Amino acid sequence: MSGTVMGILIATLVVGLTGVIIAVLLSIAGEKFKVEVDEKEVAVREALPGNNCGGCGYPGCDGLAAAIAKGEAPVSGCPVGGDAVAAVIAGIMGTDAGNGEKKIAFVKCAGTCDKTVSHFDYVGPRSCVLAQNNPGGSGKACTFGCTGFGDCKNACPFDAIEIVDGVAKVDAEKCKACGKCIAACPKHLIELVPYSSEHRVECNSNNKGPEVKKGCQVGCIGCGLCMRNCPEGAIEVTNNLAQIDYEKCTNCGTCKEKCPVKIIT
């Protein structure tokens, strides 16, 4: 046998043995450092819709799935999936999904262009945040109302918000209560309310009645008629603004009837 052939055989043998050694070492390392997979976590993650909106309070669907699997988050923790997804996850976790009521975002402002007073025409960037930092704001007399430049609309991943006559309006059927719009609004006038709530105060102003009337025809004047006439004690007037306790409200409509400015809709 020639030296060349012998060299080839030796090289082949060395490569083969090296491959075997590497395979053995990788197998040992894989067993030693492998990460245990929680089958429930994987199943929960597959059940989640995958929007990764963060509305659940966790860093995306992966974070929520891990929290649910550990028992740190409720099976109904996904606001986008709603009851249907909660029921699937409850089956995976072997628990009861409960009866969590759907919530939707609500813009506490009815100050459309025809109902509000403007001190000047705003000509800056069409951004609620930037207008908020501008001396005089967006020009509207009411500094508590909707700027109407659409930061909330731009933040909504479900196309559930439109700007109508200078005020943001939420499509209740499209809204998934992810909270993106709430975080985007610099005036903090968007809140989550029960889907079934029939009466809501469309105002966010803390000014006293006479000041409110100077800037908006339909702002809450803090008169307290709704509070005094509510048979369930579901309304309080705090800082000149009526607020409804939806846990107590029975949707009887008394507050709407008694409101002199018809701001409860």
DSSP 100: P
pLDDT at residue 8 greater than cutoff 90: no
- Whether 173 and 244 map to the same domain: the answer is no
What average pLDDT does this structure show over 170-189? 92
CATH code of the domain in which 72 resides: 1.10.15.40
Domain end (from 196, 229, 246): 196
| Integer Cα distance of 181 and 107 in angstroms | 10
167-170/161-164 β-pairing: antiparallel
For helices 82-93 and 60-69, give the axis angle rounded to 10 degrees. Answer: 40
Which residue intervals of the chain are DSSP H helices? Answer: 3-33, 39-47, 60-69, 82-93, 128-132, 151-155, 180-184, 209-215, 225-229, 254-258
What average pLDDT does this structure show over 22-51? 76
More confident residue, 18 or 142: 142
Domain end (from 170, 196, 222): 196
Residue 12, pLDDT score: 74
Domain end (from 145, 163, 196): 196
For 195-243, give the DSSP string.
TT----B-----S-HHHHHHHBTT------HHHHH-TT--EEEETTEEE
79 is a domain residue: yes
CATH code of the domain in which 136 resides: 3.30.70.20
CB 140 within 8 A of CB 116: yes
Mean pLDDT of the chain: 87
More confident residue, 104 or 97: 104
- Whether 232 and 249 map to the same domain: the answer is yes
Tens of pLDDT along 139-162? 889 999 999 999 999 999 899 999
11 is a domain residue: no
| Integer Cα distance of 125 and 146 in angstroms | 16
49 is a domain residue: yes
- Whether 74 and 132 map to the same domain: the answer is no
The structural domain count of the chain equals 3
5 is a domain residue: no
- Whether 180 and 216 map to the same domain: the answer is no
SS3 244: strand
Residue 30, pLDDT score: 61
- Domain assignment of residue 220, given as a range: 197-265
- Whether 145 and 214 map to the same domain: the answer is no
Neighbours of 233 (CB within 10 A): 10
Tens of pLDDT along 227-244? 999 999 999 999 999 999
- Whether 222 and 262 map to the same domain: the answer is yes
Structure confidence at residue 7 as a pLDDT band (50, 70, 90): low
Residue 52, pLDDT score: 83
CB 247 within 8 A of CB 235: no
226 is a domain residue: yes
Residue 33, pLDDT score: 58
